[in-house]
Amino acid sequence: MARTIIYFLIINFYFSCSYCFSQSQSPKKDIDDLRKNLKTTTIDTSKVEIYTKLAESYVFYKTDSLKYFATLAFDLSTKIDYEKGIGKSLSLLGTVSQNENDYPGAINKFKRANLIYEKLKDESNQASVLHNLGGIYLRIRALDSSKSVLLKSLLLAKKTNNKNTLPKVTYQLGNLEKANKNFDYAIEYYNQALKYAENINDKTSMGNAYGGMGQIYGLTKDPNREIENYKKSIAIFRSINNNQNLSVLLSNLGGTYEELGRYDEAANCLKEAIVIKRKIGNNRSTALTLGVLGNLYSSKKDFKKAKITYEESLLMLPPEDKQTKFGLLYMIGLQDYEQKNYKPAKDNFDKALLLAKDSDIDKNSISELLKTYALTEEKLNDFQSALMKYKKSTDIKDSIDNALNQEKILELKTQFEVAEKEKSIAKLTIENKKKEVNVANKQKQLVILLGSILIAIILVFFFYYRYRSKKELSRNLQIKNEELNSKKIQLEVAVSEKEILLKEVHHRVKNNLQLVLSLLNIQAREYKNEEVDLFLQKGEARIASLALIHQTLYTSGKISHVSIKDYIEKLLNSIFISFDVDKDKFQYQVESEELNFDIQTAVPIGLIINELVCNALKHAFTDKEEGLVRVELKYFNPEYQLTVSDNGIGLNYKSKKINSVGLELVSVLSQQLNGRMKTDVSNGTTFTLNFNEISKVI
């Protein structure tokens, strides 16, 4: 993983270079003849044509001369109002701005040239200018604008049979589809560019097309076709002495060989690329290729040579390239670590972290560096600092995982909110109907009450003195009974709704934990790394124990507490199944009183049992054909006692196989329960925890 960081920092630069070498590098014109013709001609339009041809002669190797002659052509064309010359010179000046990385200026000039050619109805030159404009939009990642302009350029080039522009614009469309990750479409465009280029023997466009297809096959993990296309591209660029493109393709091919472990072939490609790039004078590109060469030496365990190569690469990088510097410092420190030079390794890691504070460095890279830094400080016996860095690395990794799952979580949240709204609407409809029924009932009750009052008034005339006290007492008792019955019904409804709601909450928590388990399984299959698999396996076991608590709560009749004996039975059965234990040879026993704990107490108990039983199954029965794990939980007023024991080989604290993080988790959870942990290794291993309940179950 550490080598992958610097590799992708470097190889991403090579992929971006595909936008830079889409123009053809044609041979030099006979500049001396052009200069002679310039001295003899007296026609201004002819002078403009000579100026533009001289400018074109310097397009690929001397920007200052290109700018000088293009400016002369523009000034003279403007003076004599020669629109064709203005359009041509603006296009050349746009190329100057592009070479100087002045993309807004380049866009402005290409747009002005396009308007002139559109006015002149010169669709052939318009196709060429739009191709250049589309390339600029692609460079600055304005992909929608790039696609619109390039498709228009392609349409005009086909309409006017502009054979020189057709291979270039289709190649740029391939780059565009690659940027959009539409790899099948990209391959189609590259093949079209190849056919157009072959028809006019445009070697540069042919080499670009093969190089673009090589990059696609690299991204889609098809190394055989990737190498095949890179070799074809390299052969073409070598034949026409196009060193700029040749060096880029050699670097790409070297990186591919290095990934495949074909180190000798990788070294040959990378060393040749470095020689060419130094000759050209491209320091940053040379530095990045040196970084890939450093990866190669590191893969071959030649850590000393790898460090020297990385340091040479670091010296050649420009100050603003902080991301690549971060990766190189990390790799330099890693070589020191591999050579057990822990103090220099620590110094380089510090430099990298200091650089990361002021830069937008990839969080995955920082997490990996902190993990290696923690291992270095552990070797230097600075265990407290090592633990802090390991925790910080884990926190960063967790935040990355949360970000990766954010889209799915938002989708689930939206689905949940829609479902809740539908339930609310249905509930509101029911409540409205209930209100209508209640109003009708109240009206009936009012009629009955009025009738009763009328009858009572009539009876009062006859039995006033005799029944007055009895009537009032009867009415008062009736009203009180009605109020009590009403309150009783309301209370029962409220309790029932709360019980349903709590069960739903526990059910959803259990489902969300199952979702996390599924995500961890997916992550494990993606990385295919033993350490990651072990890390995820531990995490899965802990999450499973939490999920089991919530499942027990919502499936049982009582939602306020957990029957701990039933829960322990289910938990041990789950652990033994996950470890694929032969139950005929390895068994477990649970002895527990009928105790009830709320979720605050049940969660740490479950996690403690999970860690201790998992450690026992992993380490206690090495070279043993049978074994027994016992879990006991008893109440000794005013505290509880939990015992987890096995008849295995006994705990060896110095063994590297023991899950120190798991035991540390047990210690933290014991403190949470205000507990005291004792360990006995005289006969197997026995952990005894005396603890108090966090909150008393009512």
- Burial of residue 221 (CB within 10 Å: 0-12, 13-18, 19+) is exposed
| Cα(60)–Cα(204) distance, integer angstroms | 13
* Percentage of the chain modeled with pLDDT above 70: 75
Question: Between residues 599 and 634, which one has the greater pLDDT?
Answer: 634
| Cα(177)–Cα(302) distance, integer angstroms | 40
Question: Between residues 698 and 80, which one has the greater pLDDT?
Answer: 80
The pairing of beta strand 639-646 with beta strand 586-592: unpaired
Nearest to 111 by CA among 85, 133, 88, 142: 133
User: 80 and 102 in contact (C-beta within 8 Å)?
Assistant: no
Residue-level pLDDT at 218: 92
> For the chain, how far is it from start to end, CA to CA, in angstroms?
52
Question: Sheet harboring 627-636: ordered strands across?
Answer: 586-592, 627-636, 639-646, 685-691, 676-680
**Which alpha helices (DSSP H) does 281-405 contain, by range?**
283-299, 303-316, 322-338, 342-357, 363-379, 383-404
Residues 6 or more apart in contact with residue 308 via CB below 8 angstroms: none
Which pLDDT band, with edges at 50, 70 and 90, does 11 fall under?
very low
Q: What is the 3-state secondary structure (H, E, C) of 667-680?
A: HHHHHHCCCEEEEE
| Cα(215)–Cα(526) distance, integer angstroms | 22
| Cα(236)–Cα(214) distance, integer angstroms | 14
| Cα(652)–Cα(467) distance, integer angstroms | 91
Q: Does residue 141 come out as left (phi exceeding 0), alpha (psi in the -120 to 50 range) or beta?
A: left
Domains in the chain: ranges and CATH: 562-691 (3.30.565.10)
Tell me the pLDDT of the chain averaged across its residues: 81
Is 643 in a helix, a strand, or coil?
strand
User: 18 and 212 in contact (C-beta within 8 Å)?
Assistant: yes
Match 């027990």 to its residue by tokens.
Answer: 552
Is 17's pLDDT higher than 50?
A: no
Is 538's pLDDT higher than 70?
A: no
**Per-residue model confidence as pLDDT tens digits over 575-602:** 888 888 888 888 999 998 888 888 888 8
Average pLDDT over residues 556-563: 68
Longest dimension (CA), the chain: 142
Least confident span in 166-180, 326-340, 400-414, 659-673:
400-414
How many other β-carbons are positioned within 10 Å of the β-carbon of residue 510? 20
How many other β-carbons are positioned within 10 Å of the β-carbon of residue 483? 10
User: 616 and 648 in contact (C-beta within 8 Å)?
Assistant: yes
Which pLDDT band, with edges at 50, 70 and 90, does 616 fall under?
confident
Question: Between residues 570 and 192, which one has the greater pLDDT?
Answer: 192
Q: Does residue 156 come out as left (phi exceeding 0), alpha (psi in the -120 to 50 range) or beta?
A: alpha
Nearest to 268 by CA among 282, 251, 283: 251
Residue-level pLDDT at 281: 76
Tokens of 605: 């108990």
Which pLDDT band, with edges at 50, 70 and 90, does 630 fall under?
very high
- Burial of residue 112 (CB within 10 Å: 0-12, 13-18, 19+) is middle
Least confident span in 80-89, 451-460, 491-500:
491-500
User: 22 and 168 in contact (C-beta within 8 Å)?
Assistant: yes
| Cα(64)–Cα(96) distance, integer angstroms | 8
Tokens of 13: 């630069």
Nearest 5°: phi and psi at 22? Answer: -85, -15
The CA angle 181-185-190, to the nearest 5 degrees, is 105
How many other β-carbons are positioned within 10 Å of the β-carbon of residue 20? 14
Is 404's pLDDT higher than 70?
A: no
| Cα(279)–Cα(238) distance, integer angstroms | 15
* Percentage of the chain modeled with pLDDT above 90: 34
Residues 6 or more apart in contact with residue 403 via CB below 8 angstroms: none
Is 135's pLDDT higher than 90?
A: yes
Q: Rounded to the nearest 10 degrees, how much is the dihedral formed by the CA atoms of 176, 182, 187, 190?
A: -10
DSSP 234-258: HHHHHHTT-HHHHHHHHHHHHHHHH
The DSSP H or E segment spanning 616 is: none
Residue-level pLDDT at 586: 87
Residue-level pLDDT at 109: 93
Q: CA 528 → CA 291, 400, 525, 531, distances in Å?
A: 26, 19, 6, 9
Average pLDDT over residues 258-275: 90
Q: CA 499 → CA 101, 416, 485, 493, distances in Å?
A: 66, 20, 21, 10
Average pLDDT over residues 383-405: 81
Tokens of 697: 């179950």
Average pLDDT over residues 516-524: 63
* Range among 86-90, 95-99, 390-394, 620-624 with highest mean pLDDT value: 86-90
| Cα(231)–Cα(609) distance, integer angstroms | 59
Match 């660029």 to its residue by tokens.
Answer: 237
**Per-residue model confidence as pLDDT tens digits over 356-375:** 887 778 788 888 889 998 99
Is 630 in a helix, a strand, or coil?
strand
Residue-level pLDDT at 244: 83
Residue-level pLDDT at 524: 61
Least confident span in 108-112, 423-427, 617-621:
423-427
Residue-level pLDDT at 147: 94
| Cα(15)–Cα(11) distance, integer angstroms | 6
Match 């890179």 to its residue by tokens.
Answer: 230
Strand partners, 11: none
Q: What is the 3-state secondary structure (H, E, C) of 346-367?
A: HHHHHHHHHHHHCCCCCHHHHH
Is 284 in a helix, a strand, or coil?
helix
User: 274 and 283 in contact (C-beta within 8 Å)?
Assistant: no
| Cα(468)–Cα(460) distance, integer angstroms | 8
| Cα(352)–Cα(354) distance, integer angstroms | 5
Radius of gyration, alpha carbons of the chain? 39
Average pLDDT over residues 505-510: 54
Is 171's pLDDT higher than 80?
A: yes
Tokens of 213: 């297809």
Average pLDDT over residues 170-194: 95
Length of the chain in residues, anyone?
A: 698
Residues 6 or more apart in contact with residue 528 via CB below 8 angstroms: none
Which pLDDT band, with edges at 50, 70 and 90, does 21 fall under?
very low
Nearest to 94 by CA among 122, 113, 73: 113
